[in-house]
Amino acid sequence: MDTENQRGRDGSQKRSPLDMIMNQLRRKTSFTERKKPSVGRFFRPSENNEKNNVSIPETKETEISEGKNSTQPETESGGVDPEICSVVGWGRVKQFVQKLGKTPDSESLNLSHCDLTATDLLELGTLLPFLAQLEVVDVSWNDLLGGSLQALTVHLQHVGRLKTLKLSGCRLTAEDLGALGEALDTVPLLEILDLSWNSGAGGGNLHCLTSHFGSAGALRELHVVDCQLSEADAMSVGEALPLVPCLEVLDLSSNPLVVRGRENVLSALGYTPHLRSLRLRMCGLDRASLAILGEQLQLLPALEHLDLSCNKESGGGFSAVVMSLSFLTHLRSLDMHSCCLTEENVLELAQVIPCLGDLTDLDLSSNKRVGGVLQTLLPGLPLSKMKRLHLSDCGLSHEAYHALATSMKSFTQLESLSLSWNKSVGTNLRWLLEPLQAGCKLQELGLCSCDLTTEDMLHLESACKRGAMSRLRLLDLSCNGGVGDGGWVSLFGEAGGLKELRELDVSLRPSTSLSASPWMPALLEALHQLPSLCHLALKRWALTPGEREKLQRTASKRNVGLEWDELAAPGIR
Name the more confident of 83 and 228: 228
Is residue 559 included in any domain, yes or no? yes
Indicate whether 18 and 115 sit together in one domain. Answer: yes
Position 573 confidence tier, pLDDT thresholds 50, 70, 90: very low
Q: Which range (28-42, 109-123, 408-422, 552-566) has the least confidence?
A: 28-42
Alpha carbon distance 45, 256 (integer Å)? 36
Domain termination site, one of 339, 369, 404: 404
Q: What pLDDT score does 551 carry?
A: 95
Contacts of 27 (CB under 8 A, 6+ apart): 117, 118, 119, 144, 148
More confident residue, 48 or 269: 269
| Cβ neighbour number for residue 423 with a 10 Å cutoff | 15
Residues 318, 323, 325: CA angle, nearest 5 degrees = 100
164-166 and 108-110 strand pairing: unpaired
Let me know if 376 is exposed, middle or buried by CB neighbors in 10 A (0-12, 13-18, 19+): middle
Query: Of 404, 435, 455, which residue constitutes the final position of a domain?
Result: 404
Tell me whether residue 271 is in a domain.
no
- Percent of the chain clearing pLDDT 90 (strictly above): 78
Average pLDDT over residues 272-300: 95
For the chain, counts of helices (H) and of strands (E)? 21, 19
Say yes or no: 20 and 114 in one domain.
yes
Same domain? For 247 and 344 the reply is no
pLDDT tens sequence across 417-475: 999 999 999 999 999 999 999 989 999 999 999 999 999 999 999 999 999 999 999 99
- Amino acid at site 509: R
Q: Per-residue pLDDT tens for 320-342?
A: 999 999 999 999 999 999 999 99
Q: Do 141 and 25 share a structural domain? A: yes
Residue 553 has pLDDT above 80, yes or no: yes
What's the pLDDT at 7?
45
| Per-residue pLDDT band at 569 (split at 50, 70, 90) | low
Per cent of the chain over pLDDT 70 is 84
Decide: 378 and 405 in contact? Cβ < 8 Å: no
Q: What is the pLDDT of residue 408?
A: 96
Q: Which residue has the higher pLDDT, 145 or 42?
A: 145
What range defines the domain where residue 360 resides? 276-404
Instruction: Give the per-residue pLDDT at 86.
Output: 66
For residues 437 and 409, the answer to whether their CB atoms sit within 8 Å is: no
Q: How many CA atoms lie within 13 A of 312 on its CB side?
A: 6
Selected residue with higher pLDDT from 34 and 523: 523
Amino acid 439: pLDDT: 87
Verify that 226 and 282 share a domain, yes or no. no
**CATH number, domain with residue 226:** 3.80.10.10
What residues have CB less than 8 Å from 567, skipping those under 6 apart? 513, 540, 541, 542, 543
What would the mean pLDDT of 246-250 be, rounded to a whole number? 98
Task: Specify if 416 maps to a domain.
Answer: no
* Per-residue confidence (pLDDT) for residue 289, from 0 to 100: 92
List Cβ neighbours of 19 (8 Å cut-off, separation of 6 or more). none
Contact 296, 270 (CB under 8 A): yes
Overall domain count for the chain: 3
Residue 295 lies in a domain: yes
Q: Is the pLDDT of residue 50 over 50?
A: no
Q: Does the pLDDT of residue 58 top 50, yes or no?
A: no
The pLDDT value recorded for residue 12 is 44
Residue 239 lies in a domain: yes
Tell me whether residue 17 is in a domain.
yes
The more confident residue out of 160 and 87 is: 160
Q: In this structure, are 209 and 304 located in the same domain? A: no
Q: Is residue 95 part of a domain?
A: no
- Mean pLDDT, the chain, whole residue set: 87
pLDDT at residue 57 greater than cutoff 50: no
Q: Collapsing DSSP states into helix, strand and coil, what is residue 355?
A: helix
pLDDT at 347 over 90: yes
Q: Give the pLDDT confidence score for residue 34 in this predicted structure.
A: 52
pLDDT of residue 14: 47
> For position 27, what pLDDT does the model report?
55
Q: Can you give the pLDDT at residue 189?
A: 97
Which secondary-structure segment (H or E) carries 322? helix 319-324
Judge if 504 and 376 occupy the same domain: no
Q: In this structure, are 115 and 242 located in the same domain? A: yes
User: Which of 291, 237, 226, 233 lies closest to 269 in space, CA to CA?
Assistant: 237
Residues 112 and 16 in one domain: yes
pLDDT > 80? residue 228: yes
- State residue 56's pLDDT score: 38
Considering the domain architecture, whether residues 363 and 228 belong to the same structural domain is answered as no
For residues 190 and 133, state if they share a domain: yes
Do 430 and 566 sit in the same domain of this protein?
Answer: yes
pLDDT at 15 (0 to 100): 52
Looking at residue 271, its pLDDT comes to 96
